[in-house]
Amino acid sequence: MNLALEKLYGMERDRWIVGIDEVGRGPIAGPVVAAAVVFPAQLLLEQAPDFLKSIRDSKKLAPKQRCVLAQLIKKNAFYALGAASVCEIGRYNILQASLKAMQRACAKLGQRLGVKAQDKMQDKMQGKMQSRAQDMIPSWMPHAYLIDGRHSPSLRMQNIQINPQKIKPIVQGDNKSITIASAAIIAKVARDALMEKLHAQYPLYAWQKNMGYPVPEHLKALEKNGLSPHHRKTFAPCMKFLV
């Protein structure tokens, strides 16, 4: 994986590219989680840290690899998470809930970038030294937004509506874009941690292993124990257990 897509959509030293992806459309339990990630373009173009070579589709990484990469991504990039609950999945359907999670992640990323830009301006006025990441902040609005999949959600950063022409859906983007793949890794690690916490409350379904996916062990537990509050009742494997 290289930076070809980022460069295609205009990445330059002062033009940053956001990658957005979601995790958790396939499970029958738990929320859908999205992440938005933006690396300082200078870091990617001029320094190219070694860990970037290991970034790939999160599904192709072992859990330990994902966790290590997630920490390195967080250290070198700006990121934010968004989620849509099981109730929202039932109310809107999984596609619309996934898009809402992406919108929330992007909005939170906008808040972080805006705050960092304000901090940088204040520090410059006060003559303070900048950290490396802060010193790389451009005019804080990114240049383009790469979305994994076929659909283009409407996006906002803080109170600013993003021009739809800047939003680029990329089919199999987590196999093609470092920024999208980085977002998928962070979202996957965050969602897995959440499912492990839910397992502690509802240990009958082995969510710490299956992460809510409809594997045979999970389906057998449903047959034996029925639905939990965190099961997606509009999904076919769960519907037959509704009273």
Within 10 A of 232 (CB to CB), how many other CB atoms are there?
Answer: 23
Q: What is the pLDDT of residue 115?
A: 65
> How much is the average pLDDT of 216-231?
97
Q: Which two tokens stand for residue 98?
A: 């996934």
Amino acid identity of 115? V
- The confidence band for 1, taking pLDDT boundaries of 50, 70 and 90, is confident
Per residue in 131-160, pLDDT (tens digit) is: 444 444 445 689 999 999 999 999 998 788
**What single-letter DSSP state applies at residue 231?**
B
Q: Tell me the CATH class for 4-238.
A: alpha beta
Per residue in 30-88, pLDDT (tens digit) is: 999 999 999 999 899 888 899 999 999 999 999 999 999 999 999 999 999 999 999 99
Domain range summary for the chain, segments of one domain joined by +: 4-238
Asked if residue 220 lies in contact with residue 204, where contact means CB atoms within 8 angstroms, the answer is no
Per residue in 80-127, pLDDT (tens digit) is: 999 999 999 999 999 999 999 999 999 999 998 876 655 544 554 455
- pLDDT over 50 (residue 23): yes
- pLDDT over 80 (residue 130): no
pTM > 0.75: yes or no: yes
